[in-house]
Amino acid sequence: MRKVRVRFAPSPTGPLHIGGVRTALYNYLFARQHGGDMILRIEDTDQTRFVPGAEDYIIEALDWLGIKFDEGVHLGGPFGPYRQSDRKPLYRQYADQLLRDGWAYYAFDKPEALDAKRKEYEAQKKTFQYDCNTRLSMENSLSLPADEVQRRIESGDPYVVRFKFPDDIDITVHDLIRGDVTMNSRLLDDKVLFKSDGMPTYHLANIVDDHLMEISHVIRGEEWLPSAPLHVMLYKAFGWEDTMPFFAHLPLLLKPDGNGKLSKRDGDRLGFPVFPLDWKNPQTGEMSSGYREQGYLPEAVVNMLALLGWNPGNDQELMSMDELIRLFSIEHISKSGAKFNVEKAKWFNHEYLQQCSNERLADMFQPQLQEHGVNASRDYVVKVVGMMKERLNFPQELWDQTHYFFVAPTQYDPKAVSKRWKPGMPKHIAQAIHILQTVPFEYDAIHQALLEDYIKGNELNMGQIMNSIRLAVVGTTVGPDMITLILTIGKEETIARLQRAIDTLGEVEQ
Ligand code: GLU
């Protein structure tokens, strides 16, 4: 078998959509599983759609996710250059080969003439297609006399080179996911292969590059399936059928309700990112949010995306990159579209946050602590995040969940006060202070003296007293186990907070 070589071939037309990330991921998993090579090729032949910064964005996003390359625009390699605009001089000869062998022709039609043709068809409720049925009514080297064609070329008339589909043949694409897909050439348009600006189009450059870069498998989005018959014909036309790659067209990523393709606007509307990283449109300044900045862990994004359109053949959901590499198979990619599910995305993030070491979480927490002017010891921060992480979906929630470990409350939740701070409470809190001052500062000793001996022993109201202590320490009635909390923030600090509550809330009238 040939060496597995796959490529991810984005066009730098903006930020990389999450569907594109999934394509890159599947290519990566496939390459790694087969000990093959993964290549990053930038397809920038359409200069009108070029967006500055997009290429760097793509590289940064895939790097963040741990999708690594063996060759590519950022790494170099034996099959470079890997940016199509840098390969510009090599495509012309391939267009010439097709012209010479009768697989392509020159077309001189001006944009206005093509527009007029389209309008003429529209008026009759038809769609114009430049194909075997219409090509002889257009201005090209098939319809014009040879000397006229020669004259136009020599005098510098702009032209494009179009593929010439044979009339009425069935073209079959063997797709690893969908099986055989057959289309008749009468339905296919004579796509432009080479443009008047001297650049190849996507179709020509893509096939030439896949061939020259010895690509063994083309794994890409379903939106390219309609182009696949042309690609298959191009391999035939060039005489490269023997080394034609295998094709696998991935199912679409659908909106959460399953109605149509997941778009950027869905993300904005439903409150989840459709891009891996934040992106600022350099032309309009418009911002789009990314998974990274929203607090998603790369492992969670990778795991979630892997399962959007593929499954391991059982219902296992949590898989590391290494497991995914081991388990991935094209046979288990589904044919139907995969619905995006934001709750599931959050669930994955929650799960991966639990797997994060407390040290890593503490690092993520550092900016929030700084923002709030907190200067706590590393050990203390590590301990607190360890205690509280099971409540988190995102690291951004850390401050909300843990602030009372770092700063004393400055006010008390009025609802909780009226519910819990009852007449006689200052006396009970003062007793709690006394207990903390006298018994060993240990879990069991505090539990015995405060809960058992004082509260239960005197038949006092456990809920009211413990919640009032919590109110004094936290400011509300949330938080982890009360004694654990007291032990964590320390004796002095607890006593100070209890005293402050007595001073602030005082006695309540009967
Ligand atoms: N440049 C194409 C894209 O942006 C690549 C399609 C392919 O993989 O052949 O999707």
Task: Enter the tokens of residue 174.
Answer: 């063997």
Indicate which residue's Cα is closest to atom 2 of ligand 1: 10
Residues 170-191 have pLDDT tens digits of 999 999 999 999 999 999 999 9
- Rounded-to-integer distance, Cα 10 and Cα 106, Å: 28
Strand partners, 129: none
- Rounded-to-integer distance, Cα 37 and Cα 466, Å: 62
Indicate which atom in ligand 1 lies nearest the CA of residue 202.
1
- Rounded-to-integer distance, Cα 221 and Cα 29, Å: 16
From 40, 215, 224, 247, give the residue whose CB has the most ligand 1 atoms within 8 Å, as the site to mutate: 224
Specify the CATH number of the domain 1-73+251-355.
Answer: 3.40.50.620
User: Hey, which residues are catalytic here?
Assistant: 264
Amino acid letter, residue 137 = S
Q: Find, among 78, 4, 74, the residue nearest to 41 by Cα.
A: 74
Predicted local distance difference test score (pLDDT) of residue 143: 98
9 lines ligand 1 (CB under 6 A): yes
Amino acid letter, residue 510 = Q
Which residue ranges of the chain lie beneath pLDDT 50?
none
Predicted local distance difference test score (pLDDT) of residue 397: 97
From 17, 39, 43, 207, give the residue whose CB has the most ligand 1 atoms within 8 Å, as the site to mutate: 43
Q: Looking at 213-320, list the stretches that DSSP marks H as alpha helix, in order from N- to C-terminal side.
A: 228-238, 264-270, 291-294, 298-306
Task: Give the CATH fold of the 356-404 domain.
Answer: Helicase, Ruva Protein; domain 3 (1.10.8)
Residues 383-394 have pLDDT tens digits of 999 999 999 999
Indicate which atom in ligand 1 lies nearest the CA of residue 220.
8
Residues of 480-509 as b/e, b for ≥16 C-beta within 10 angstroms?
bebbebbebbeeeebbbbbebbbeebeeee
Cis, bond preceding 414 (omega within 30 deg of 0)? no
Question: How much distance in Å is there from the Cα of 431 to the middle of ligand 1?
Answer: 72
43 lines ligand 1 (CB under 6 A): yes
12 lines ligand 1 (CB under 6 A): no
Question: How much distance in Å is there from the Cα of 299 to the middle of ligand 1?
Answer: 25
- Rounded-to-integer distance, Cα 173 and Cα 184, Å: 11
Q: What is the distance, to the nearest Å, from the Cα of residue 435 to the centroid of all Cα atoms in its chain? A: 54
Predicted local distance difference test score (pLDDT) of residue 440: 98
From 85, 202, 215, 246, give the residue whose CB has the most ligand 1 atoms within 8 Å, as the site to mutate: 202
Question: How much distance in Å is there from the Cα of 252 to the middle of ligand 1?
Answer: 14
Tell me the DSSP string of 70-92: SEETTTB-TT---BGGGGHHHHH
224 lines ligand 1 (CB under 6 A): yes
Q: At what angle do helices 18-33 and 54-65 cross, to 10 degrees?
A: 50
Question: How much distance in Å is there from the Cα of 164 to the middle of ligand 1?
Answer: 22
Task: Give the CATH fold of the 408-510 domain.
Answer: Arc Repressor Mutant, subunit A (1.10.10)
Rg (C-alpha) for the chain, rounded Å, is: 33
Question: How much distance in Å is there from the Cα of 277 to the middle of ligand 1?
Answer: 20
Question: How much distance in Å is there from the Cα of 221 to the middle of ligand 1?
Answer: 8
Asked if residue 398 lies in contact with residue 368, where contact means CB atoms within 8 angstroms, the answer is: yes
- Rounded-to-integer distance, Cα 66 and Cα 302, Å: 9
Predicted local distance difference test score (pLDDT) of residue 323: 98
CATH pick for 89-194 out of 1.20.120.160, 2.60.40.1180, 3.90.800.10, 3.40.1080.10: 3.90.800.10
Predicted local distance difference test score (pLDDT) of residue 236: 98
Indicate which atom in ligand 1 lies nearest the CA of residue 23.
8
- Rounded-to-integer distance, Cα 41 and Cα 38, Å: 10
- All structural domains of the chain with their residue ranges: 1-73+251-355, 89-194, 356-404, 408-510
Predicted local distance difference test score (pLDDT) of residue 510: 66
Query: Looking at residue 251, what DSSP letter applies?
Result: P
